[in-house]
Amino acid sequence: MILVGERINGMFRDIRRAIRDKDPGPVQHWAKRQEEAGADYLDVNVGPAAEDPVEAMKWLVQVVQEVTEVPLCLDSTNYDAIEAGLRLCKKAAIINSVPADRPKIERVFPMAKEYGAKVIGLTMDRKGIPKDAEARTALAMEIVAAADEFGFPIEDLFIDPLVLPVNVAQDHGPEVLETIRQVKNLASPPPKTIIGLSNVSQKAVHRSLVDRTFVAMAMAAGLDAAILNLDDDALLDTIATARILLNQDVYADSYLKVFRSRRR
């Protein structure tokens, strides 16, 4: 399971302020803290309020890389900002993200190839997010076919079936899980799957419980990666346990401890 730390995002007040004031402190704090919690990638998002997203992305990438070698997941709808970030990345990054929309596909895949980046493809198009798994999978297929057309390795493609908050879109949950299953049949080797986990519990009470229940269900469906809250120990324990139950890690009585300390 690939863990992507969600915390360096302008949606959070401390990061938004840090970007505005060019104060590396909070950004670097979260970079280190998520690394210690076992992040495989750090998501980096300037947030909707950034005045100059390109400059903000460059600044974020630089200050994060000053304190950690964990590779980055550049999260923006502004591809100029992503490209500016890619130029600065010391390790192969993930581009987050591209929808099933031809002009964007044509912009993203050549860029990904140029910088050796992986890509997250969203199961949505200009019309938005379809509800049922068949339609989501069809959009995933469009992205897979496009990746193949551009000579982009399918195993470096992550399909994000777009999790929605359970308190407003409860009916999407099973469709997302089914999409994770179906995406595995699209190609061989199949694309990977990823979700923005915290979305599922937006504004819900029992956030941690909702997150960890859903992540276990998604892992059973074949989930490969998640953008998530690495500050949640119970969530990490759930992932460690799911990996054991799915025979992805070798069981030992002290497996939880091993999983928590695996970066050290």
Partner 1 sequence: MAVERIMERYTSRVREVTLGATAEQGGTRSHTITVGGDSTLPFLHFEGEVPHRPVLALEVNDVPPAWHQLLLEHYRDVLDDPGAWAAKAVRQFGADLVCLRLVGADPDGENRSPEECAQVVRRVLEAVKVPLIVIGCGDADKDNEVMPAVAEAGAGENLLLGIATQENYKTLTAACMVHKHNIIAQSPIDINICKQLNILISEMNMPLDRIVIDPTLGALGYGIEYTYSIMERIRLGALGGDSMLAMPVIVNVGYEAWRAKEANVPESEFPRWGDQPTRAVLWEAMTGAHGLQAGAHIVILRNPDALRLLRRHIEQLMVPNRA
Partner 2 sequence: MGLTGLEIYKQLPKKNCGECGPPTCLAFAMQLASGKATLDACPYISQEAREALQSAAAPPIRLVTLGAGDHVLEIGDETVLFRHDKTFYHPAGIFIEVGDDLDEAAMDERLRAIGELEFERVGQQYRVDGVALRATSGDADRFLRLAQKAAAAVPWNFVIVCQDPALAEPVVRLLASRRPLLYAATDDNWEKMVQLAEEHQIPLGVCGRDLDHLAELVTKITQRGYRELVIDPGSRETSQVLADLTQIRRLAIKKKFRPFGYPTIAFTSEPDATTEIIQAQVYVGKYASLVVLRQAWRRSEILPLLTWRTNVFTDPQKPIQVEPRVYEVGDVRDDSPVYVTTNFSLTYFSVEAEVEASKIPGYIVVVNTEGTSVLTAYAAGKFTPEAVAEALQRSGIADRVKHREVIIPGHVAVMSGKLQELSGWKVIVGPREAAGIPAFVRSRYAA
Residue 205 sits in the site that holds partner 1 (CB under 8 A): no
C-beta of 40 vs 249, nearer to partner 2: 249
- In this structure, how many other beta carbons lie within 10 angstroms of the beta carbon of residue 124? 19
251 in contact with partner 1 (CB under 8 A): yes
Helix axes 79-88, 53-67, angle to 10 degrees: 30
Q: How far apart are CB 247 and partner 2 at their closest, in Å?
A: 11
Give the per-residue contact string, 182-211, with partner 2 (x = CB under 8 A; - = no): x--xxxxxx---------------------
Whole-angstrom distance, CA of residue 235 vs CA of residue 212: 5
Measuring CA to CA, how many Å separate 252 from each of 152, 212, 247, 259, 260?
Answer: 38, 22, 12, 11, 14
**Contacts with partner 2 in 70-129 (CB under 8 A)?**
none
Nearer to partner 1, 205 or 254 (CB): 254
C-alpha–C-alpha distance, residues 123 and 138, integer Å: 8
Of the pair 182, 238, the CB lying nearest partner 2 is at 182
Structure tokens at 122: 């969203």
Smallest gap, in angstroms, from Cβ of residue 206 to partner 1?
32
Residue with tokens 């989501």: 136
Going by their DSSP bridges, the two strands 192-196 and 94-99 should be labelled as unpaired
- Residue closer to partner 1, measured from CB, 58 or 113: 113
Catalog residues that contact partner 2 under the rule CB under 8 A: 137-138, 141-142, 144-145, 148, 154, 182, 185-190
Catalog residues that contact partner 1 under the rule CB under 8 A: 249-254, 257-258, 262
